[in-house]
Chains A and B, each alone.
Chain A
Amino acid sequence: MKNFQVAIIGGGVVGCSIARELSKYKLDIIVFEMGSDVASGASKANSGVVHSGINSPPRSLKARFCVEGNKMFQSLADELVFPVKWVGKFVIAKNKDEVRELERLRKVGRDNGIPGLEIKEKNEVREKEPNVSCFAALWVPTAGITLPYEFTIALAENAVDNQVRFLLETRVTGLKKQKNRFLIETNRGEFQAQIVVNAAGVNCGEIVSMVEEPDFQVYPCRGEYLVLDKNYSSLVNSMIYPVPKKELDVLGVHISPTIEGNILLGPSAEFVDDPSDKRTTKEMMKSLLKEAKEIIPALPDKAVINAYSGLRCKLASPESGGWADYRIEESKHTSGLINLLGIESPGLTAAPAIAQEVKEIISQFMELKTKNNFKSKRVKKKRFSEMSTEEQSRLIKRDDRCGRVVCRCEQVTEREVIDTLSNPLGARALSSVKYRCRAGMGRCQGGFCTQHIVRIMEEHFNMDIADMKLKSPGSNLFHGRTREVKND
């Protein structure tokens, strides 16, 4: 089928939230994602924080959608089976002057309707965070952490379960409005849709340019992160943020525990020209570590085990202060094109609320009939490493592939890798395996499991080694064969 009622461009957390929300209604929906899996852009390269909303100005869309989204998170996590932990956040003040900032933040937070905000003295903070040095801190109980890629995958898989079509490795190359439908050109052919939702993230300007002159400019702003070894997970219990810096409207270097027990340092903030420039730099890595040590003096250098970066879609230039509100609206010139522009932090938190807003906008165009067979729950198998030995024994009796462990560090079985590669989105990159069952995410970083996963791809899924990718359409793993086989 090539005609749809709604086409969503972008399979990030926002696009997938919208897809899932709309899948509650009797609509033909398609999602185009240019990467080899959902959450290929900023959606996987962030801190995984479920923000409270204290950092957004009251009455802004950022504040509204963040607070609304935050409230929806727990029930979404229960329905879709992805983890969320309400670890809370301390915004710390180094001295008395900074306490004024804490008071300002508390006021903003109260204006935004955020409960439980309290300024705590140094000793109270020490009780909860013995390794953190500060003068005082603002305690934010409604801040939490999640796994952003797992959240996005859960949304996408549930959407597929509810008949949404996902096309991965599909790039929108042209968009034309003809009468009351859109003609969408992609590298996989032409499609038609009544409504186009532009959830293309940092590339949102490119999509708008296909049909009209954009009235905005995108200023890509890169955020780098450092990941610390799980051995140091006891350094902090909740998120630790310094008081926001005035220079640039970004959050500053945070220290965030992750669901899996690592600690994240970051993000940095650097405006770049190229929206795909996801380098990590020596300078930033040094600064992140240095700033983190000011807050946690006990942090050793060798604690770092990984680094990554993501690109924020900013709508305000550095000169103007770098802050702009979300723009979630139908295009004024092209009716039926719903643009989501500038969805940077707190985008992950805001995504479910933004999805509802988009649904509201679409309901102006067409009647949304509720499905009576909407599957609200996602079924996710328990990880082998989380089972009791009895459960494991029973499982292996039924299927002996559950007894072959192919990832030592994360104790992942052959069965789990096969299930992962059989995912409903059809994502088959090596990183798709990593993000779904954790094989390759441990200390040896794929040193043991990579060869076994590749063998499973070859033998069980008949994949050609020439087609195997790391994470994106052009990231081939291999060059060819050592010895060419006649029938290869």
Chain B
Amino acid sequence: MINQDVDVAIIGGGPAGLAVAVSAREHGVESVVVIDRNSWLGGILPQCIHDGFGVEETGKSMTGPEYAEKYIKMAEKQGIQVMKETMVLRFDRRREIIAVNKKGIHRIRAKAIVLAMGCREKTRWNVMIPGTRPSGIYTAGVAQAFINLYNIMPGKNVVILGSGDVGLIIARRLKFEGANVLAVVEILPYASGLPRNVVQCLDDYDIPLFLNHTIISIEGKERLEQITIAQVDKNMVPIPGTEKQIKCDTLLLSLGLIPENELSKGVGIEIDNITGGPVVDQYLETTLDGVFACGNCLQVYDTVDMLSIDAKRAGKNAAKHIPIQKQENTGQKKDRKSSIRIVPGEGVRYVVPQLVNECGTIHLTLRVEKPREASTLHVIAGGMELLKKRLPWVNPANMIRVDVNISAEAMTSTESLEVTIR
């Protein structure tokens, strides 16, 4: 067993983990270690060779690898310790991490841990598509890794299920590499990715987009041979008689992302069932003392820019936590009884953070349940309106960020804050 004591241990070296690390150092933390399971840093970014990253943050549009390299260079410059190709097996409530790599088993005792494990992709079985189980079915991210990192083309005649950005980007990539992209199938009445991607990935290349459609069957004895799509009604039920068969050899699934929290669950951290990520307070601290969460494992972000902003906050808060930690190490959340819950109300799917335990300005990120024009966002504590904001348009695919000032009065007057969109 190789033992090590650190101030801040960050699980995950993708954009979130790197931003946390850099921020923690900038706020005075001496020993910071970033642990990543791959032989590279940057997480998913090295395979995201398209541009559009960092526009809000830097004004320049970078590709994924360039954005990653920017942060990797910063981390190197600040002497942040990095453990690559290292898998965290578990950690416990005393913040002792057990990790493994080619050097052996490591026990890392940390004063603060930041969870930055990112997310995984939804699979065929999350939506239970009936049919056979042939080869040629991949989630879009895995296909992207093969094409861009390993020089492997998964197939030639491709159908993509899901019109989120991941699906749209891979449609164009495949087209560039000589594949036939036969269709992008989307169950909603609108594409769930950015209009820019619909134009530049589908329209530009005449790739058919089937809105209000889903895949009802997969066929192929050994390798995929064809899929059947059907139109759906407003309850997303396939309409008989609208079936259409598409012969293909590859099906890429872009069904959405699930925050990766197996480690968090293993140690009893409370998870929000809607976000899929840990319940956190305004400092991004989870229900386990000294353990923070950020990045896609907290909630799935739309852009890396927004993710980095929040990750840097987590780094700052983790840094601040360290002197406090010297006083107590109970493994329990301090002042739990005085924290109030932030509850998603009408029209709102979820809000992060879910807990507030001190008055002050809190940064809320939230998503709505469905697209709307001309709506108003309200944040209400007991009977008091804390915030009212007009929004010209809202969409579940676009995360909304607002800052709310919570007074001491508001904190004591209620047990929960409600956020609604009307």
Is B151 a contact partner of A481 (Cβ separation < 8 A)?
Answer: yes
Query: Which residue of A403, A447, A455 contacts B120 across the interface (Cβ within 8 Å)?
Result: A447
Q: 1/0 per residue A464-486: CB within 8 Å of B?
A: 01000111111111111111010
B window 216-235: CB within 8 A of A:
216-217, 219, 221-223
Is A396 a contact partner of B105 (Cβ separation < 8 A)?
Answer: yes
How far is A334 from B173 in the complex, measured between Cα atoms in Å? 59
A-chain residues with CB within 8 Å of residue B149 when the two chains form the complex: 451
B-chain residues with CB within 8 Å of residue A471 when the two chains form the complex: 135
Q: Does residue A128 face the partner (Cβ distance < 8 Å to B)? A: no
Query: Which residue of A278, A285, A476, A480 contacts B132 across the interface (Cβ within 8 Å)?
Result: A278
For B132, give the chain A residue with the smallest CB separation: A279
Stretch at the interface among A188-196, A291-299, A303-311, A349-357: A303-311
B-chain residues with CB within 8 Å of residue A450 when the two chains form the complex: 142
Evaluate whether A396 and B154 lie within 8 angstroms (CB atoms) in the complex, with A278-B132, A279-B131, A448-B120 already known: no
Q: Does residue B152 face the partner (Cβ distance < 8 Å to A)? A: yes
Evaluate whether A393 and B147 lie within 8 angstroms (CB atoms) in the complex, with A307-B128, A472-B222, A478-B153 already known: no
For A485, give the chain B residue with the smallest CB separation: B151
Q: 1/0 per residue A287-328: CB within 8 Å of B?
A: 000000000000000001111100000000000000000000
How far is A202 from B125 in the complex, measured between Cα atoms in Å? 27
Is A403 a contact partner of B152 (Cβ separation < 8 A)?
Answer: no
Is B102 a contact partner of A403 (Cβ separation < 8 A)?
Answer: yes
A432 to chain B, nearest CB (A): 13
Evaluate whether A304 and B128 lie within 8 angstroms (CB atoms) in the complex, with A447-B139, A448-B120 already known: yes
| Contact count band on B | 35 or more
Q: 1/0 per residue B129-141: CB within 8 Å of A?
A: 0111111100101
A-chain residues with CB within 8 Å of residue B151 when the two chains form the complex: 481-483, 485
Is B135 a contact partner of A470 (Cβ separation < 8 A)?
Answer: yes
Q: Does residue B85 face the partner (Cβ distance < 8 Å to A)? A: yes
Q: Does residue A420 face the partner (Cβ distance < 8 Å to B)? A: no
For B39, give the chain A residue with the smallest CB separation: A404
Q: Does residue B249 face the partner (Cβ distance < 8 Å to A)? A: yes
Q: Does residue A446 face the partner (Cβ distance < 8 Å to B)? A: yes
Residues of A within 8 A of B (CB-CB), count: 53
For B126, give the chain A residue with the smallest CB separation: A305
How far is A279 from B103 in the complex, measured between Cα atoms in Å? 46
How far is A329 from B148 in the complex, measured between Cα atoms in Å? 56
Q: Does residue A173 face the partner (Cβ distance < 8 Å to B)? A: no
Q: Does residue A401 face the partner (Cβ distance < 8 Å to B)? A: yes
Q: Does residue B156 face the partner (Cβ distance < 8 Å to A)? A: yes
B228 to chain A, nearest CB (A): 11
A154 to chain B, nearest CB (A): 24
Query: Which residue of A282, A285, A444 contacts B216 across the interface (Cβ within 8 Å)?
Result: A282
Query: Which residue of A280, A307, A447, A451 contacts B150 across the interface (Cβ within 8 Å)?
Result: A451
A476 to chain B, nearest CB (A): 6
Q: Does residue B1 face the partner (Cβ distance < 8 Å to A)? A: yes
Q: Does residue B121 face the partner (Cβ distance < 8 Å to A)? A: yes
Evaluate whether A405 and B37 lie within 8 angstroms (CB atoms) in the complex, with A447-B123, A472-B222 already known: yes
Evaluate whether A482 and B147 lie within 8 angstroms (CB atoms) in the complex, with A451-B142, A454-B152, A475-B134 already known: yes
Q: Does residue B383 face the partner (Cβ distance < 8 Å to A)? A: no
Is B104 a contact partner of A478 (Cβ separation < 8 A)?
Answer: no
Q: Does residue A408 face the partner (Cβ distance < 8 Å to B)? A: yes
Q: Does residue B98 face the partner (Cβ distance < 8 Å to A)? A: yes
Query: Which residue of A305, A307, A389, A446 contacts B1 across the interface (Cβ within 8 Å)?
Result: A389
B-chain residues with CB within 8 Å of residue A480 when the two chains form the complex: 152-153
A-chain residues with CB within 8 Å of residue B156 when the two chains form the complex: 479
B44 to chain A, nearest CB (A): 11
A window 436-472: CB within 8 A of B:
443-448, 450-451, 454-455, 465, 469-472
How far is A444 from B132 in the complex, measured between Cα atoms in Å? 20
Is A447 a contact partner of B262 (Cβ separation < 8 A)?
Answer: no
Is B141 a contact partner of A447 (Cβ separation < 8 A)?
Answer: yes
Q: Does residue A118 face the partner (Cβ distance < 8 Å to B)? A: no
B-chain residues with CB within 8 Å of residue A209 when the two chains form the complex: none
B-chain residues with CB within 8 Å of residue A404 when the two chains form the complex: 85, 101-102
Query: Which residue of A401, A403, A476, A479 contacts B104 across the interface (Cβ within 8 Å)?
Result: A403
Is B145 a contact partner of A443 (Cβ separation < 8 A)?
Answer: no
Is A276 a contact partner of B1 (Cβ separation < 8 A)?
Answer: no
Evaluate whether A280 and B131 lie within 8 angstroms (CB atoms) in the complex, with A389-B105, A403-B100, A474-B221 already known: yes
B-chain residues with CB within 8 Å of residue A370 when the two chains form the complex: none
A-chain residues with CB within 8 Å of residue B217 when the two chains form the complex: 279
Query: Which residue of A451, A478, A479 contacts B145 across the interface (Cβ within 8 Å)?
Result: A451
Is A451 a contact partner of B125 (Cβ separation < 8 A)?
Answer: no
Q: 1/0 per residue B187-222: CB within 8 Å of A?
A: 000000000000000000000000000001101011
Query: Which residue of A400, A403, A474, A485 contacts B222 across the interface (Cβ within 8 Å)?
Result: A474
Q: Does residue A369 face the partner (Cβ distance < 8 Å to B)? A: no
A-chain residues with CB within 8 Å of residue B177 when the two chains form the complex: 482
A window 258-300: CB within 8 A of B:
276, 278-282, 285
A280 to chain B, nearest CB (A): 5
Is A393 a contact partner of B104 (Cβ separation < 8 A)?
Answer: yes
Q: Does residue B146 face the partner (Cβ distance < 8 Å to A)? A: yes
Q: Does residue B87 face the partner (Cβ distance < 8 Å to A)? A: yes
Identify 17 residue pairs between A and B in the complex whose beta-carbon atoms are under 8 Å apart, listed by A's number.
Answer: A285-B130, A304-B128, A396-B103, A404-B85, A408-B87, A408-B262, A447-B121, A447-B123, A447-B142, A448-B37, A454-B146, A455-B150, A476-B135, A476-B136, A476-B223, A477-B136, A479-B249
| 11 extra interface residue pairs, beta carbon distance < 8 Å, beyond A279-B132, A393-B104, A403-B105 | A279-B130, A280-B132, A282-B128, A308-B133, A393-B1, A405-B89, A447-B141, A454-B150, A455-B150, A479-B153, A479-B154
Going nearest first, the 4 A-B pairs with the smallest beta carbon separation are: A474-B222, A470-B135, A405-B87, A475-B135
Which chain B residues have a beta carbon within 8 Å of chain A's beta carbons? 1, 37, 85, 87, 89, 98, 100-105, 120-121, 123-126, 128, 130-136, 139, 141-142, 145-156, 177, 179, 216-217, 219, 221-223, 249-250, 260, 262
